[in-house]
């Protein structure tokens, strides 16, 4: 790998790594030595790239970098297109359109020599099986999650029993034939999974729940290491 490419790759690794990256981890991904990584990091810092490092902890890229990302690599293009194909086949109508638009935009901005990776990919996503119809507006649901606002659900469980819940929406799980809303349920005082096709009615409330959406998602993820959220 050329030195210039290696320097850009170090920046890219730090961009996508949420935690500090050690010199050993960087060297392993780049296929070089830790000594080379130390020298490259020093050169980048000398060029005013805002990298902060701490001995024994690793390196992080701080805000303020003006350098735009390099052009997508063929592997990155195939990864983006494959992911967009999955969303186009499995997502709700609005996300499916957005995925199709994304593929078209990638095809527009990449050089002509890379367009076959967009429009003639060697990886493909087979059509999804028939998806159950959602019982609520999925676009509004996602907006409610981003805003950290509550939802009032009228829900029918797998035994056909109906109930009303006020929930704090966390995330949407896209399964093979159904979608699930993961939320904190005020009635059960715990995380619950609601199949969106079993929602009878939904009221999108203006009231915010008391935790930040990111904090609530982090709390839900911690529960996954102990037990899966049960059905409503």
Q: Which of 48-57, 127-136, 194-203 has the highest mean pLDDT?
A: 194-203
Which residue is associated with the tokens 């797998």?
A: 158
Q: Is it the case that residue 165 has pLDDT exceeding 90?
A: yes
Residue 151 confidence (pLDDT): 98
Residue that wins the pLDDT comparison between 2 and 24 = 24
Q: 169-196: per-residue pLDDT in tens?
A: 999 998 878 899 999 999 999 999 999 9
């Amino acid at each position: 790998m050329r030195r210039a490419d290696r320097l850009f790759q170090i920046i890219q690794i730090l961009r996508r790594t949420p935690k500090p990256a050690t010199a050993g981890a960087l060297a392993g991904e780049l296929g070089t030595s830790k000594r080379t990584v130390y020298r490259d990091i020093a050169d980048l810092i000398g060029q005013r790239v805002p990298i902060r490092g701490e001995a024994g902890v690793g390196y992080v890229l701080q805000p303020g970098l003006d350098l735009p990302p390099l052009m997508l690599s063929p592997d990155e293009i195939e990864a983006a297109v494959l992911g967009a194909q999955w969303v186009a086949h499995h997502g709700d109508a609005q996300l499916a359109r957005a995925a199709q638009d994304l593929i078209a935009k990638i095809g527009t901005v990449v050089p002509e020599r890379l367009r076959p990776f967009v429009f003639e990919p060697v990886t493909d996503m087979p059509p999804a099986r028939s998806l159950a119809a959602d019982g609520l507006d999925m676009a509004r649901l996602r907006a409610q999650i981003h805003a950290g606002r509550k939802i009032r659900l009228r829900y029918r469980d797998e035994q056909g029993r109906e109930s009303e819940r006020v929930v704090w929406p966390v995330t949407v799980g896209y399964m093979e034939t159904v979608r699930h809303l993961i939320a904190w349920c005020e009635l059960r005082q715990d995380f619950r999974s609601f199949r969106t096709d079993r929602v009878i009615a939904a009221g999108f409330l203006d009231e915010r729940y008391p935790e930040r959406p990111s904090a609530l998602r982090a709390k839900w993820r911690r529960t996954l290491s102990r037990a899966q959220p049960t059905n409503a």
